[in-house]
Each structure stands twice: as C-alpha cells, then as structure tokens.
Amino acid sequence: MKKNLKQISFIKTTSLFLGTILLLATSCSKEEESAEEPSSIEVITSTELQYSDETEMISEEVTAIAEDVYASDEISFVSKIPHRSDFLPDCVTITTVVTDTTKEKTIDFGEGCELPNGNVLSGIINLSYATDMEAATKTLELNLENFTFNGVAIEGSADILRERSNENENPQSTANASFAATWPEGDTASFEGTRTREWIEGYGSGFWGDNVFLITGKRTYVGREGNVFVKEVVTPLRREMACRFIVSGVLEISRNDNTASLDFGDGTCDAKGILTQPDGTEKEIFLRRFKK
C-alpha cells in the first residue's frame, strides 16, 4: 500500500511539473507572437500591388489614347493644318460621325492590335465631345466596349475635362473614371476616382515617343481579395509614352488607417519600385504581372 501511495505521489508531482513547463512555454510563445505582430502589418502585399498597378496603367493608357485622338482635332483646328499622331498603328480603325453639336469617334482595335510601346489592345474605345473647337475647356465622354488590355478584360467609363492651356500653359485633362478589370484566371479588381494629367512635353509634335505627362489625383481601389485601398499621388507621377511604366513619383496607399508609400524611382524606364510599409520596412518590387 505504501508503495502504491509513493507511486501516486510521484505521478502527481511529475504531472504538475510538466504542466507548469507547458504553461510557461505557451505563455512565452504568445508573448513572442504579440511582440512580432505590429511589424507584420502590411497595407498592401506585392501581389496586390502588381494587380493594382496594372489596373492603374490600363486607365492611364486608355485616357492617353482618348486624349491623343482628341488632340489631333484640336491641333488641326489651331494650326489650320491637318494633324495626325503616329501613336496609333494602322491596325486601329477610327470612325467619326459628326452631328450638329457633337463628334462621335469609334476607336477600334479589332481582335488585337499592338501599340508602339508593346501593349496589346482589343475591342473599342468610344469617344464623344462637342464640335466647338474654340472652347477653352471641353468635356470628353469615354466608354469601353468588349475591351481588353494585354488579355485583361476591362469595363467602365470616364468623363474627362479637357483644358487647352492650364496655369503652366500646358494642355491638361482631369478624368473622373470608374473601371473594373477581370484577369484571364478569373481574378477581379475595380477602382474609381479622379486623375489629372498635365501634358508637359511633346504636344503637337506628331511623334508619340516624346510625349510626357505628369499625373496627380486620388482613387479608391478594390483588390481581388475584396480589400479596399485609397491611393493618392503625393509626388507627381511621370509617364513617358516611350516607356511602358511610370518612371518616377510617389504614391501613398492607405488601408485601415495604415499608410504605405510606393516610390517609382529616379526616371529609369523599368518595372521596379520601392514599397515602404508603415513600420519603415522597404522592399524592391516588380510592378508588372502581364506579358505582351
């Protein structure tokens, strides 16, 4: 009997000791997880940013095409000499219907048409604006029809306020846009907001490669996982049409009261950017998923 009592006592003591060790280990583990938690907060992941940047670039390209087509009419009116930009290749068909008050243009990329910068578009951009070319400002209405951009299906529209000359004596367009994107694998994203594009170089030259824009504005982006981000330009983004990418400028990206920043670089034409998370962590990322 004494032997059994000793065995029972030993078992109880051992169990208590092991339980204490397990409790302490669990407690330490929880403290370590808690300490690491704040540094693991990401406003936006690299993959989400790639999708977001593709959608933004599609919007910029569509707006640039609409402005380029409109500018041909504007420049022809001002110079009294027919003007045609070389940005859109021969595989694009532009049809114009003129009424008493408007010009309706259909910009048709067919089943697939490659632009000089390497992007491949299909479908139609519909563009409408008033025939009065003497007006200092004008509204362009844009909508998409069966449109794809490098295989990404795009739906949406934009109202573009066009100024012939801003305070810097440059042409400028302010677009209120709403677009939705669907990737071939089924992922979706959408965004809406306002972007202002100042045409700082190349206006009227007829050569697409010297066109340069400065872009500012603020938009709300809904990512493929349903996350909502507010994206605001804090240093104007520089878009050179000879390059497929934004070459410089800083974009702030906010989500749930946390803000990250994306620096597009020093002017080099590449797909790289530096993403800085709220805790100061920096990471070089590539901003393109799609291929030509």
Q: Which residue has the higher pLDDT, 63 or 145?
A: 145
**Candidate from 2-11, 63-72, 117-126, 223-232 with smallest mean pLDDT:** 2-11
- CA gyration radius, the chain: 27
pTM, full prediction: 0.78
**Across 66-101, where does the E strand assignment appear?**
93-98
* Per-residue confidence (pLDDT) for residue 288, from 0 to 100: 64
The two tokens of residue 270 are: 């590449």
Chain segment 16-25, per-residue pLDDT in tens: 444 444 444 4
Average pLDDT over residues 124-152: 94
* Per-residue confidence (pLDDT) for residue 224, from 0 to 100: 83
In three-state secondary structure terms, 275 is strand
Residue 37 pLDDT class (50, 70, 90 cuts): very low
Average pLDDT over residues 156-185: 94
Cβ-count burial 2-26 (b if 16+ within 10 Å, e if not): eeeeeeeeeeeeeeeeeeeeeeeee
- Average pLDDT of every residue of the chain: 83
Chain segment 48-98, per-residue pLDDT in tens: 888 787 777 888 889 889 988 998 888 888 777 777 777 889 999 999 999
* Per-residue confidence (pLDDT) for residue 31, from 0 to 100: 42
Residue 41 pLDDT class (50, 70, 90 cuts): low
Chain segment 227-246, per-residue pLDDT in tens: 899 999 999 999 998 888 89
